[in-house]
Each structure stands twice: as structure tokens, then as C-alpha cells.
Amino acid sequence: MSILEYLANGLVFSSIIVLSGVGLSLIYSIASFANFAHGDTMTVGAYGALVSFGAVGSMGGLLFGLPYGFYVALAAGALLAALVAVITQRLVYEPLEIGSIGLLITSIGIAFVYRALIQLGFGTDGRRYAVPAMRPVEWLVPVGIRITVQEIAIVAFAAVFVVALHLVLTRTLLGQMMRAMADDASLARVSGVRTSRIKLWTWVLGAGLAGAGGVFLGLYNQIEPRMGFNILLVVFAAVILGGIGSVYGAMLGGFLIGMVDQLMPVLGDIGIPIGTEYSYAVAFLIMVGVLLARPSGIAGTTER
């Protein structure tokens, strides 16, 4: 089996981590706390898409092996995740006058609340989206790559979202204000940036991306109440590896961690007896190694 196969798997898994990671990093840099409810926000997105996909149906044809209705559901899931996050921010995080550690602990509680509500509504069983089951793209199989059109769609969409986010951050006034806030919130405020509105938009973008990541995770793996929480640790690893607070670092970190996770079989192939069950351990080891060399992460700024 060629290494291309593992790389293809890694690319798909990385895409999901990147989508979730950039959202987490964005929220960290502007709302100034590590949001442990981020994983469960992904779950909210996945279930939002499940319900709306059930409601709109397939809507006729297929695009990238996915029914048109699925794209509507993807948008609905991302919107729901954003909405839930904004409501939480307004009702809980905003009024709480505690430091970032307090908010961090609060967000763990919020994560439990999200998950409990989902379990109440849907039970704990794993589900799948009613999309057609796919076989690998035929002309790629001889090259040694087995990837379905749906998996290619996941990668493509992640790329589109990441580029779009890049454009928002660099080319729009909103993006400039967001970056200004991330650099120095009080300076941004005295310069006339309406910080609470920017914060709101940050939550919308960050949670929306998480929601989309959740929908893709559900498509790639399965939809169940713990899905987001189970991947959260890896997402954190990716974000910290890249340099927490840096959106571009999160992209790179997510890509690396996803690849490491899926390239684990290579170790066995070349005679290093470390099984795939240790993939997270290896990923974290790499993270620690990078942090020892570069305490602020790959793309982190030094003062953070």
C-alpha cells in the first residue's frame, strides 16, 4: 500500500480539525479564553444538519456525491451552531465577571449542557446522514489513493472556508478590526472599534466554522452526542501546536496533527512497533517537542 493512501486519509481528517481549530483559535484570540464547549458546538452543528437534512430531503440531484439538500443542511447546521454560541455568549459568558480561568471552567459546564440536551433529544445512538454510500474514485485507485468524492468535497469545502476566512481577516474592515482587537483590545476600543460587536461576529464565525466542521465529522465518521467532545483534545493540540490565538497557526497545526494521526501505520510499515492506538500520544509528543523548541507554537507571537 502506498503512502499516498495514508496521506489522502490524513488530508480528509486534517480538514475537519482545521475547520474546528481556526474557530477555536479565533475565539481564543478575541474573547480571550479557551472555549471547551467548542467540541460540543461542533456536535450542535452536526445535529442541526441532521434535522434540517431530514426536513428538506435530498432536493433532487447530487453534487460531489452529496444531495443538494445536504448543502442546505450544512448551512443550517453551521448557522445553528453560530446561533447557539451567540446566545450562550450573551446569556452566560458576557454577564460573568470572572477571569479567563473562570470562563474556561464555565465553558466545560456549557459543553455538558449542550451534550445533555442533545442526548435528551436524540438519544446516545450513533447515526449517519442519509447520503448515498460511496465507493472510492475509480481512476485514483491504481495510483494507490482510495478516496470518495464525498471525502474530496470535505477537503474542498474546508479549503474554501479557510480561504474565505483569510479574505475576511485581511480584506475587510471587520477583519481588520478583529485583528486589531486580537492584538490589543483596549487600544482597539480607544481607536473607536465597537469591541462587543466585533466579539459577536467572532463568535458567529468561530462557531459557524465549528458547526461546519461538525457536519463534516458526522459525514466522515458518525453523528453521536460525544463526537465533538472526543475530537476536542486533538483540536486543542492542533491549535496550541500552531500557536494559540493565531488563525494561520491553527491551520498549520490542524494539518500536522491530522496527518500524524493518519500516518501512524507508516511507523509499523518501517518497523517501528508503535501501534495506531497510540496516535494521539504521538501527536501530543510532537506538540510538546515543538513547544519546547518554540514556546509560543509554530506561528505564535512571542508576547503571548
Partner 1 sequence: MTGDTNGTLGRREVLKGAGATGLVLTAGCVGSDEEPAETSTPESTVYEIGMVNSLTGSLADFGTYNKRGMELALESINEVGIDGGTLEIIVEDSESLPDAGVSAAQKLATQDQVPFVIGAVGSGVSTSIYESVIEGSDIVQLSQNSTSASLTDYPGLLRMSPPGGPQVQVLSDVIAEDGNGSVAVAWVNNDFGQSQRDGFLEAWGGEVAYESPHDQEQSSYSSVVAEMANSGADAWVFLTYQEQTALMLSDAFSNAYEAAFYGSDSAKGPSVLENTPSGSIEGMKTVEPSAAVDQANYQSFASRFEEAYGTAPTSWSSFAYDCVITAALSILTAEEFTGSALGGTVRGVTASPGTTVTTYAEAVEALDGGGPDAIDYDGVSGPIDFDENGDPVGAFQVFEVSDDEYTSLGTRSA
Q: Name the site residues for partner 1 (rule: CB under 8 A).
A: 1, 5-6, 9, 12-13, 16, 125-128, 133-136, 141, 146, 148, 150-151, 217, 220-222, 224, 226-227, 230-231, 234, 261-265, 268-269, 275-277, 279
Cα within 13 Å of Cα(200), Cβ side: 9
Residue placing its CB nearer to partner 1 in the complex, 40 or 151? 151
**Which residues are CB-contacts of 263 (< 8 A; sequence separation ≥ 6)?**
3, 6, 7, 10
**Nearest approach, Cβ of residue 9 and partner 1 (Å):** 4
Residue placing its CB nearer to partner 1 in the complex, 248 or 280? 280
Residue placing its CB nearer to partner 1 in the complex, 2 or 100? 2
Residue placing its CB nearer to partner 1 in the complex, 225 or 243? 225
Residue placing its CB nearer to partner 1 in the complex, 183 or 269? 269
Residue placing its CB nearer to partner 1 in the complex, 2 or 196? 2
Q: What is the rounded CA–CA span in Å between residue 273 and residue 48?
A: 41
For 277, the 3-state DSSP assignment is helix
**Which residues are CB-contacts of 43 (< 8 A; sequence separation ≥ 6)?**
114, 115, 118, 214, 225, 226, 227, 228, 229
**Nearest approach, Cβ of residue 152 and partner 1 (Å):** 12
**Nearest approach, Cβ of residue 258 and partner 1 (Å):** 9
**Nearest approach, Cβ of residue 221 and partner 1 (Å):** 6
**Nearest approach, Cβ of residue 39 and partner 1 (Å):** 10
Whose cell is 434535522? That residue is: 51
DSSP secondary structure letters along 282-294: HHHHHHHHHHHHS
Buried b (16+ CB within 10 A) or exposed e, 79-97: bbbbbbbbebbeebbeeee
Residue placing its CB nearer to partner 1 in the complex, 88 or 279? 279
**Nearest approach, Cβ of residue 117 and partner 1 (Å):** 20
Residue placing its CB nearer to partner 1 in the complex, 40 or 261? 261
Q: What is the rounded CA–CA span in Å between residue 302 and residue 210?
A: 27
**Nearest approach, Cβ of residue 106 and partner 1 (Å):** 24
Q: What is the rounded CA–CA span in Å between residue 20 and residue 231?
A: 9
**Nearest approach, Cβ of residue 20 and partner 1 (Å):** 10
Cα within 13 Å of Cα(119), Cβ side: 11
Residue 132: is it exposed, middle or buried by C-beta count within 10 angstroms (0-12/13-18/19+)?
exposed
